[in-house]
Amino acid sequence: MAEPADWQPLLASVGLEAVAEPAAFRIVVGDSEAARAAGFAPTLEKVRVAALTDVRDSNLEIFWEEPLELPVFALPEGARVFTREARSGAPLVAGLYRDGGAVLWTATAPGKGGIERYPYLIHALADLGLDLPFRNDSTWAFLDYSYRLRADPAYLARRWSEAGIAGLQVSGWHFFEPDPARDAWLETLLAACRREGIVVYVWLELPHVSDAFWQKYPECREQTALQQDAQLDWRKLVDLLDAVCATQVERGLASLLTRFRWDGVNVAELYFESLHGPSDPSRFTPLSDAVRERGRRRLGFDPLALFDELSPVFWSRNADAWDRFVDFRANLALELQEHYLRFARKLLPRADLVVTQIDDRFDDRMRPFLGADTVGLLPLAEELDFTLLVEDPAPLWSLGPERYPEIAERYEEAGADARRLAIDINIVERYQQVYPTRRQVGGELLRLVSEAGEAFSRVALYFERSIGAPDLPFLAQTAKGARIVSRDGASVVVESPRPVGLAWPAASAKVDGEPWPALDRKAVWLPAGRHTVSPGDALPPGRVLRLNATLEAAQTRERSAIIRYRSSSVAYALLDRKPEQILVDREPFATPPEPAPTHWLVALPRGAHEAEFRF
């Protein structure tokens, strides 16, 4: 193929390897000998390439950081064009079937990391018939109800399942106050996700409670440093340190948490504004009466004086006063986080808990600007049994996927348990000048998810609606560090740092020489490590089609399928048939299996367990 190093980071994101020797699928570049041999030849006509269009999304704006003048190429008969120069329509990415495989041609090299010029190269290879080797069903996604008011929950759940979505974080503020129509929609969504084996968390954005709460209790509105109501962007912040207001909030939260069957609670972004720190007092919080009174007692001065240019404690002139306030404010955020985590744990003792926290290890401005203090929060993780979901801060959105191993390392150095560490990637229109697209799509998205998934135990995407239709099917095919070590006939040796699915269209398989029950005619599900997968001799007594948990081992025994797993939430197991008996840790399990249109669902307990399904 073309220079393998140019392509390897992109190909590795879906478990492929760039090799120089001949292969069934070949990549050729520009006016090369290999390209000419495949029928791609330059003409005398030239075109300046700055903007592109792609068949996957004709409305997507694609720009190169450095425009190039290139020859217009003539294509071989039967070639399929995927990407063109926007004005002239000159082909830039094309391919054709050949000799039982295919050839993909690009007018230039793909750029550093394989993602700087052409967003949809992996998609083009798939269109040419290349089968991707892996499946990953472990990604989380955020759901904002305001974008899905009229969507069919059953359709959404099936779509998410096919995309490898294992967990959904649902915007809880839309359901804070009971409403028959909204509540019915949510109940339908919860049932549909459960049938698909998707766990659902209520996503809280305290100190935002709800629009209705803001209108009903104006006396509870948080105040900025300008003593204005803290309505900042979409969030309408409430003073959680006022005892009367906190009581009203907790009454509503108790209803929200117990009115529905949640699998978990995500206490997200429970700190303060703003990303610009004290330089923007119109957005800086919290400076309500309750906070100011507490500040007077603990600091010896009114925190509002930090924003008075005539005050001796004005923030830019009195570093000691500002530093003391930074610590005071960070402790307030920790106090609130601990309080609401304990509140949720008491109400829902079996639920999984998650804390979404903006990164303050890679970007150390977040503690003084927002009050986010990960080092202070981490000691609570084991006691309260929560996952820390690290949010990519906006200043890092323009950086490449190489940042994720470093972010993970910094949290582990700070004492984070790698098994309780996850990453939240914002899929948004970035404010920075980035190329080739403003939003992360195609190869960039696949690299982000794959490399973050190798560095962290879990990847969450904000948000599910921002993932474009061309990319959704490929999310489930990211490798997250998995690779094919070797192939020998029908046997495949796989190595992966995390559990992974190997594409496997058969109904039976052996793993490391033993009959294996965890497969679904699309993939055979493997624990982390190195394993040899080979064709099975006979169908297993029953199959575990999908497991929403960390698979640690599996085996078949006469009429049984046995799995060993670990999960912080309820572990949904999807079976191809109804088991006659279920044992958990060799004891009878009382919860009966639930029928679904294409499978049977078993809700296994959270924690580390062995489950045996007798058929």
CATH of the domain at 67: 3.40.50.880
Shared domain check, 117 and 196: no
Tokens of 612: 């045996």
End position of a domain, from candidates 108, 130, 152: 130
Q: How far apart are CA 574 and CA 196, in angstroms?
A: 8
Q: Chain centroid to CA 216: how far?
A: 35
Q: HSE of 569 in the Cβ direction (CA atoms, 13 Å)?
A: 26
Which residue from 568, 592, 611 is spatially nearest to 167, judged by alpha carbons? 568
Indicate if the alpha-carbon torsion angle 337, 338, 343, 349 is positive or negative. positive
Residue 395 has pLDDT above 90, yes or no: no
Shared domain check, 330 and 250: yes
Total structural domains within the chain = 3
Shared domain check, 297 and 368: yes
Shared domain check, 562 and 524: yes
In whole numbers, what is the pLDDT of the chain averaged over residues?
97
Q: How confident is residue 20, by pLDDT bands cut at 50, 70 and 90?
A: confident
Shared domain check, 163 and 115: no
Shared domain check, 496 and 569: yes
The percent of residues above 90 in pLDDT, for the chain, comes to 94
Q: How far apart are CA 217 and CA 171, in angstroms?
A: 21
Shared domain check, 164 and 144: yes
Q: Region 69-79: what's the mean pLDDT?
A: 98
Write out the residue range of the structural domain in which residue 454 sits: 139-475
End position of a domain, from candidates 421, 446, 475: 475
End position of a domain, from candidates 415, 442, 475: 475
Tens of pLDDT, residue by residue over 471-526, are 999 999 999 999 999 999 999 999 999 999 999 999 999 999 999 999 999 999 99
Q: Region 369-394: what's the mean pLDDT?
A: 94
Shared domain check, 444 and 533: no
- Tokens 């105040």 belong to residue: 223
Shared domain check, 199 and 321: yes
Tens of pLDDT, residue by residue over 257-301, are 999 999 999 999 999 998 899 999 999 999 999 999 999 999 999
Shared domain check, 588 and 558: yes
**CATH code, domain with 285:** 3.20.20.80
Shared domain check, 497 and 424: no
What's the Cα-to-Cα distance from 248 to each of 241, 405, 499, rounded to whole Å? 12, 42, 44
- Tokens 């996957």 belong to residue: 56
Q: What per-residue confidence (pLDDT) applies to 21?
A: 82
Shared domain check, 342 and 263: yes
Indicate if the alpha-carbon torsion angle 181, 185, 190, 194 is positive or negative. positive
Asked whether the bond before 274 is cis by omega within 30 degrees of 0, the reply is yes
